[in-house]
Structure 1
Amino acid sequence: MPAAASPDGQATVIRRTSYGIPHIKAADYRGLGLGAGYAFAEDNACALADIAVTLAGERSRWHGPGATTLSGDNNLVSDLYHQRVNQSRVIERLLAAPNGPSRQARDLMRGYADGYNRHLAGTGGSTDVTCRGAQWVRPLTEIDMWRRVYQVATFEGGESAPGNLVTAQPPGSPVPPATPVARPGDVGSNAIGLGKAATAGRTGMVLGNPHFLWQDDFRFYQQHLTIPGELNVSGAGMAGAPFVLIGHNDRMAWSHTTSDAEVTTLSKLALVPGDPTSYVVDGQAHRMTSEQVTVAARQPDGSVRPVTRTLYRTPEGPLYELPGPGEWTDSTAYVFRDANADNLRLVDQWLAIARSGNVQDVHASLKRHQGLPWVNTVAADSTGAAYYADIQVVPHVTDELRARCAAGPQIGRLVLDGSRSSCGWGSDPDAVVPGRLGPGRLPSLVRHDHVSNMNNSPWLANPAQPLTGYPSIVGDVGTERSPRTRLGLDMIADRLDGSDGLGAPGFTLPALQASMLGNRNLTAEQGRVAIVAVCQANPTLTASDGSPVDVRAACAALAAWDGTGETGERSRGAYFWRVYGNNGMRGPDMWLVPFDVADPARTPRDINAGSPRLKQAFADTVKAFAAAGVPVDLPLDTVQQYAGIPIHGCNGAEGCFNVINGPYGRVPVSQAPDIRHGSSFVMAAELTRSGPRMRSILIHGQSVNKASPHHTDQARLYARKQWVTGLFTETEIARDPRLAVRVLR
């Protein structure tokens, strides 16, 4: 077939291989975006249309103000938040700035919108019946795409607190403070970078294991993007984004984890007596700026009416309100400041990472763009160097400023004194944007054995060379690590000395894959046997209400359980252990050996099974199962499914590396809805001297469309602990038995 011309006179080719993975090849960034947008629309046109409605502040118009977004926010709250962003024209200003996104980035986003629109035009709206013919499905513009970029940038900032921002009102307002939205816990990731001293092949390897959303706007999507001689990168990006966030090229691989750094602060304002919309700074009174924000809302009778709310801000940012300690009173109010509120640099940042030939290039790109929002970076290259950095966008709050300006209790975010101008963010000469910490203050590390991060601070990226000296807003030092972090460090150490049963010491690609899906559970390893011994010796335990409880069945379930997050018959007891932990196992007396800063990777350890509190918690858990009518030996399969497929893995709080979080809390359940969050895109990459070798699983699949063959195909693969072999070279792609080619004009 002859190559047809695309808008720039060159061909854009989409080659689909097994599991629906698109390999897009184009002559330039506009063509690359065209192919990426078209391919994504084939799989997820309705999802991107819905994202566009959200970011345009039009959910109430089309779906009613009382409904909710996929993340659980009220539609009216979501619309007011996004419409406020849109009418501020912050995105347009950033695009027009002299230091705004590059031409390549702009072309990529324009092309993506073109590709999506091309698909809609060719299918009459969408091939997905869930939105086919819907009025809210429309062609997209470049601004729609940059709104999506801005949403990703502010995911841990304004995007995480829309209710707190649009319900912030002076005392006496009829608008109630925001009701907290229950969001998935443990949003984060694991990442391991391995150097030549840790690998059997004396080269670099990366394990990327983001724990992200399965049924939200922030799903991952796998893609391979190529501009010959310019860019060749394979991995996963965020839905609706034409760039790779976690992936590899021919010589380097990288991943990210959610950083422990605080990317927002609150300023506590002292208000002018008798005027709750005026505040005092350095003894001078200032008036807040009021903003009229109007959105359209569909009424029960089908009519559409405007809803207007007056919102307030200061030059630092919008007003913020939290019920209870963070309420707007006659004397106090709070201002929200997001370090990523002016960040569109992330597109050029991820393009620069994708073009990096080694970890030194990655480091240089992070310093040059300083565009990563809220994430750490872990990488390795074909020379056998491993790299960790938390070089991202962080408010310039030194420890001296924090000590001098911290204002009262921290209400989920760092609170600074807003009545003194000297308590504002400072700046560094090497910072790309004023008010942020410069790269020179942020931690990084190059090793030839290993680096890792499992969402704790940078301190133990490698226990042999602890990172210190960074401001506390980046993270702490010398404190207890989470059970998940400790298990990750155990997995590395056990592989390096060969004690994990996976063969000779040192990482190979199969050993890295097996470690990832081993489903070890640290708290079970540290205490299941001891807990079983106690309950076998005490078949009746006393609950917190003083009643005696027969615990023999639960004890037998834990004795038979293998102590992992596997599914099937061997999982009976796993769910009881999880609920037992949530119901009170954890506490100051949980461990026999307490945390020791001199041995942070191995302490605390050994669960204190004989503790009266842990015995009582065991009895209470048995009672909770009985009250719910749920057997104590409920198989994990029953409560951990996706489209009816049993999903192995377990919670990070239990000390599991392969995190799977179900939508249930402390109460036992007999049946749970689909998994909503956890291990999502899993990538094991080896950078050999002859090219990359990669294995991956996008567990929730490429498509949200339940009718698509790529909705559950990889979930079934994951359930069998099988992986997709990465296809990177032209020869590998051409040999795929399911290859399908489309050329876009």
Structure 2
Amino acid sequence: MIISRHLTRLTSAGMFLGLSLSAHAFSPALDTSAEIRRTGFGVPHIRAQDERGLGFGIGYAYAQDNLCLLANEIVTVNGQRSRYFGPEQFTVEQRENRVSDVFFTWLNTPEAVNEFWRAQPAQVRDLVQGYAAGYNRYLAQRREQGLPQQCQGEWVRDISPQDLVKLTRRLLVEGGVGQFAEALAGATPPHATARVEHVSHAYALADARLQRFALDRGSNAVAVGSERSFNGRGMLLANPHFPWVGGMRFYQMHLTIPGKLDVMGAALPGLPMINIGFNQHLAWTHTVDSSKHFTLYRLQLDPKDPTHYLLDGQSVPMSKQTVTVQIKQADGQVVPVVRDVYSSKFGPIVQWPGKLDWDNQFAYSLRDANLDNDRVLKQWYAMNQASSLEQLQNSVHKIQGIPWVNTLAADDKGQTLYMNLSVVPNVSREKLARCSDPRAGTKMIVLDGSNSDCAWDIDPKAAQKGIYASSQLPQLLRKDFVQHSNDSAWLANPAQPLTGFSPLISQEGQPLGLRSRFALERLAGLSKKRSVAVQDLQQMVMDDQVYLASQVAPDLLAFCATDLGADAQTLKPLCASLKAWDGRANLDAGLGLVHFQNIMQALQTSGDIWRVAFDPKDAQHTPRGLAVEQPAVAKALREAMLASVASVDKMGLTPQTRWGDIQVASSGGQQTPIHGGPGTLGIYNAIQSVPREDGKLEVVSGTSYLQVVTFDEKGPHAQGLLAFSLSSDPASKYSRDQTEAFSKKRWSVLPFTEQQILADPQYQVQTIGGSLGKAAEVAAQ
């Protein structure tokens, strides 16, 4: 039921308490209830008396906004896409359904899922059971009204806690074996009679995804402490760059259990807790780290049998897991297709033609540290409940459940914290030198699988066998600032470099990404002028500065001023657009921005183009300058400029075209212009977009959930946005409202206190109740 705003202001707290007490006293043990209060942009503030009720409210609210999204992801993680949609269709992530199904059937076996479930504490189980029941409750109600057009079919069903465990396990392997789904599903012994054809385009898509992983799931973060902040307390900017569609799309919410939990922020689908957010005393965020979370092992095969490998001189048979996938045929019939997935003691065999070949001499096995991480939900819930920075830090030290991200935090006392305490294989620098081919470098770690001494080391102080103990990982507590934008831990704060770690954890002396250089330059400039204010952190994202332009634009213009010979007339409009461009990726940016992107993306693949090479002693300012005086660079630049002119002409762009006409986000047949651009150009507001048939660029990932949090004596003050809006249902009024606000660079206050919530002009409240029913029964099995 929807209660009127006037009535709710007067009586909602008392009514909710009465309902809760009544349900607790007279209903069966598995009955539960929750209150969902929505404010501007539909943001739900969910309140319940215990974890079971809170999970119920979260699942119900999430289904109201993203029913079809979650239903689709449930089909994916159960390996059932080929059954319902056919084997040759593609997932949201552009992975062939057949490949996706083999991978997730292998990953989410009943044994693995049940083992994960048994490891969860009671509070987490209650949250997950409640979430499933809340989703199912709304699904039943929506069936009576009619399901949305995009999720009508037998594939939409009630979900169980086990389904949510499968979603969680999918999240865990995103930084590891999840990037090798094609390589796992396609791995077949040489000369096998049932050899699977390697589809070149599938591997090309997989390779593109692998290269793009840090861009699609990157992030920026800045935590400012008492020495720099405007009021002597902590400040935090959270700017995760995540997909705008699919199973990694953030959801905004506020969770409360009176006297126990009060936390607001954003979470990924299927998770009944906050991933990035704030509470009364602290705020935190995550950035994708550069640590390694898996290693490959090169296996020396037994010459007599390519499904046996030599370990310490002994022939050892690979284990074989038979995976059965239901495939929908052209005539509509569903038939089972069987695949064998082989594994060594180090993990599954992966085969990538031309890179990781399985022949009669060698094969490659992949070991992912997060496959054994059953602590991730417990970890985030502990962080949600932390009442101090020390508690948050201690929980991460003890639980070690963070999968593949850094954590940055600030508190109301003015402390800032950087932690690279994720799950990292325990392979020392010495072991790496002894067990890997130095010619392979450290981009992809390949160890010797014929020697058991090359297995990961075991530290009894670590929360999991084979990973580093938290005490051995980078962390930094300061009162000025810490920042991170997906580089190593090395220069989170240049005043205190973090060095001396295994290359699997962090590497120093490597070039910084352009977003990190921009952040350090901006923070240095702010410290010289004044203390840091809220607007300063917001503008780091919203002024859309293209940092790389500040490093090379003078050289481009100088090149334009030289004698361009026969190309002068062709390049004249390009040079004019570069000169007129202000070096930002705003909606009103003209063709100068388009040409700059095209030119630099071409040059960055051309080898050494810099006038001043990278210097580890001056990592914040090098490399810089285009060496246009060098013939090879000048030639490459001229070719890039001519190619850009041809590309712009082909797209049908005119001198009047603006960036907002090109880069858009679509929902319900409507388009919203989106500012920002590629993070590889040093744009802090990193936005990834892909070409459409009509010549426009459709946003697929980038800036997602934004928050700037400050504190005073009364608690947190937060402003934020969810760039792609709360709902993925095009028919919802919450499907593009925040996207329009993001387009206009309008942040909103995030209502956290009771006074803020009740005073919101869009306030409404819904009280829901019901039984966990099937969700609890399934979970108990």
Which residue in the other structure is 1:645 paired with? 672
Give the TM-score normalised by structure 2.
0.90
Counterparts of 1:393-542 in structure 2 under 5 Å? 393-407=423-437, 409=440, 413-498=444-529, 505-540=530-565
Q: Distance in 1 between matches of 2:702 and 2:183?
A: 26
Q: Is the 8 A contact 1:27 1:227 kept in 2?
A: yes
Alignment partner of 1:305: what SS? strand
Distance in 2 of aligned mates of 1:154 and 1:325? 21
Describe the SS at the equivalent of 2:298: strand
2: CA distance, partners of 1:86 / 1:589: 45
Cα distance, 1:530 vs. partner? 2.7
Provide Cα deviations, 1:196-252, integer angstroms capped at 9, x if missing partner: 011011000111111110022210000101111111110000022111111000110
762, 768, 781: which one aligns with 1:744? 768
SS at match of 1:397: coil
Give identity over the alignment, percent. Answer: 35
Deviation at 1:176, TM superposition (A): 2.9
Q: Which residue number corresponds to residue 26 of structure 2?
A: none
Higher relative contact order (CA 8 A, sep 6+): 2
- Following the alignment from structure 2 to structure 1, what is the Cα–Cα distance between the partners of residues 620 and 388? 29
Compute the displacement of 1:646 (Å). 1.2
CA contact (8 A) 2:587 2:658 kept: yes
1:89 corresponds in structure 2 to 111
SS of the aligned residue for 1:700 comes to: coil
| 1:359 CA displacement | 2.0
Partner amino acid, structure 2, of 1:554: L
Relative to 1, partners in 2 of residues 1:596 and 1:126: Cα closer, same or farther, differing over 3 Å? farther
Question: In the alignment, is the contact (CA less than 8 A) between 2:540 and 2:684 conserved in 1?
Answer: no
1:698 to 1:127, Cα distance in 2 relative to 1, 3 A: farther
In 1, Cα distance between equivalents of 2:236 and 2:367: 34
Q: 1:175 aligns with which of 173, 196, 201?
A: 196
Residue 132 of structure 1: CA displacement? 4.8
Give the distance between the partners of 1:9 and 1:733, measured in 2 at CA: 27
Report the equivalent of 2:158: 139
- Residue in 1 aligned with 2:4? none
The worse-fitting range, judged by mean Cα deviation, of 174-183 and 650-659 is: 174-183
Q: How does 1:312-323 map to 2 (within 5 A)?
A: 312-323=342-353
Q: Give SS of 1:341's match.
A: helix
Measured in 2, the distance between the counterparts of 1:142 and 1:170 equals 36
**1:598 and 2:617 matched:** yes
- What is the aligned partner in structure 1 of residue 727 from structure 2? 703
Partner in structure 1 of residue 687 of structure 2: 660
Q: Tell me, yes or no, if the aligned pair for 1:593 and 1:605 is still in contact at 8 Å.
A: yes
Question: Shift of the alpha carbon at 1:588?
Answer: 5.1
Partner of 1:683: helix, strand, or coil? strand
Indicate whether 1:77 and 2:102 are aligned: no
Q: Identify the residue that residue 502 of structure 1 maps to in structure 2.
A: none
Match of 2:699 in 1: 675
Q: Deviations over 1:64-83 (max 9, x none)?
A: 00101100111011111111
**RMSD between superposed Cα atoms in Å:** 1.9
Paired AA for residue 764 in structure 2: A
Q: CA deviation at 1:606?
A: 2.9
Q: Which segments of 5 or more consecutive residues in structure 2 lack a partner in the other structure?
A: 1-11, 24-28, 770-781
- Which letter does structure 2 place at the counterpart of 1:420? N
User: For the structure 1 residues 638 and 44, does the alpha-carbon distance in structure 2 shift closer, same or farther, using more than 3 Å as the test?
Assistant: same
Q: Distance in 2 between matches of 1:663 and 1:8?
A: 47
Counterpart amino acid of residue 83 in structure 2: R
Displacement of 1:43: 0.5
What SS does the aligned partner of 2:482 have?
strand
**Cα drift, residue 170 of structure 1:** 0.5
**Which residue of 124, 127, 136 corresponds with 1:105?**
124
Tell me the distance in 1 between the aligned counterparts of 2:688 and 2:109. 37
* Contact 2:598 2:644 (8 Å CA) reproduced: no
Q: Compared with structure 1, are the counterparts of its residues 253 and 540 closer, same or farther at alpha carbon in structure 2 (3 Å cutoff)?
A: farther
Residues 571, 642 of structure 2: 8 Å contact kept: no
Residues 555-599 of structure 1: per-residue CA shift (max 9 Å, x gap) = 00000000111111x333101100101112565543322222222
Residue by residue over 1:280-322, the C-alpha shift from the partner in whole angstroms, topping out at 9 and shown as x without a partner, is: 1001111011121111111111111111112211232111111
Query: Which protein is richer in helix relative to its size?
Result: 2
Shift of 1:636: 1.8
Query: How far off its partner does 1:533 sit?
Result: 2.4
Task: Write the deviation string for residues 654-687 of structure 1: whole angstroms up to 9, x where unpaired.
Answer: 11111011114xxx99723420011111111112
Q: How does 1:148-187 map to 2 (within 5 A)?
A: 148-173=167-192, 174-177=195-198, 179-180=203-204, 181=206, 182-183=208-209, 184=212, 186-187=215-216
How far apart are the structure 2 equivalents of 1:454 and 1:305? Answer: 47
Equivalent pair of 2:108/2:169 in contact (CA under 8 Å): no
Deviations 1:608-652 (A, max 9, x none): 343433433333234324444244855322331112211111211
Question: 2:32 and 2:331 mapped to 1: Cα distance?
Answer: 51
Q: Distance in 2 between matches of 1:610 and 1:114?
A: 67
C-alpha distance in 2 between matches for 1:215 and 1:132: 15
Question: How far did residue 432 of structure 1 move?
Answer: 0.3
Seen in structure 2, the aligned counterparts of structure 1 residues 126 and 524 have a Cα distance that, compared at 3 Å, is farther
Cα separation, partners in 2 of 1:126 and 1:609, compared to 1, 3 Å: farther
For the 8 Å contact 1:358–1:380, the answer to whether it is kept is no
Cross-structure match for 1:718? 742
Q: Is contact 1:254–1:379 with CA below 8 Å preserved after alignment?
A: yes
Q: What amino acid sits opposite 1:577 in the alignment?
A: F
Q: Which of the residues 221, 242, 258 maps onto 2:288?
A: 258
Q: Match of 1:145, SS?
A: helix
1:388-415 deviations in whole A, cap 9, x for unaligned? 0101100011101100000463696210
Instruction: Give the Cα separation in 2 of the matches to 1:194 and 1:8.
Output: 45
Question: Counterpart in 2 of 1:501?
Answer: none
Partner of 2:52: 30
Kept in 2, the 8 Å contact 1:195–1:380? The answer is yes
CA separation of 1:444 and 1:205: change in aligned 2, threshold 3 A:
same
Deviation at 1:136, TM superposition (A): 0.5
SS of the equivalent of 1:318 reads strand
Q: Secondary structure at the match of 1:143?
A: helix
Mapped to 1, the partners of 2:767 and 2:287 lie a distance apart of 36
Q: Does 1:272 align with 2:297?
A: no
Which residue in the other structure is 1:545 paired with?
A: none
Return the letter of the residue paired with 1:636.
W
Structure 1 residues 585 and 414 mapped into 2: Cα distance closer, same or farther (>3 Å)? Answer: closer
- Aligned residue for 2:359? 329
SS in 1 for 2:221: strand
Does residue 610 (structure 1) correspond to residue 640 (structure 2)? The answer is: no
Structure 1 unpaired stretches of 5+: 499-504, 543-547
Matched-pair contact (CA < 8 Å) for 1:661–1:675: yes
SS of structure 1 residue aligned to 2:348: strand
Conserved 8 A contact 1:318-1:335: yes
Q: Does 1:247 pair with 2:290?
A: no
TM-score relative to the length of structure 1: 0.94
CA 1:713–1:610: 2 relative to 1, 3 Å: farther
Task: Indicate how the Cα distance of structure 1 residues 454 and 102 shifts in structure 2: closer, same or farther if over 3 A, else same.
Answer: same
Bigger mean CA offset, 238-247 vs 275-284: 238-247
The 1-side partners of 2:176 and 2:534 are apart by 37
Which residue number in structure 2 is paired with residue 734 of structure 1? Answer: 758
Task: Supply the distance in 1 between the matched residues of 2:505 and 2:610 (Cα, whole angstroms).
Answer: 28
Q: Please give the alpha-carbon distance, in whole angstroms, between the structure 1 residues aligned to 2:677 and 2:410.
A: 28
Partner of 1:297: 327
Query: CA-to-partner distance for each residue in 1:304-347, whole Å, 9 max, x for gaps?
Result: 11111122112321111111131101010011100000112111
Could you tell me how far apart the structure 2 residues matched to 1:230 and 1:508 are? Answer: 31
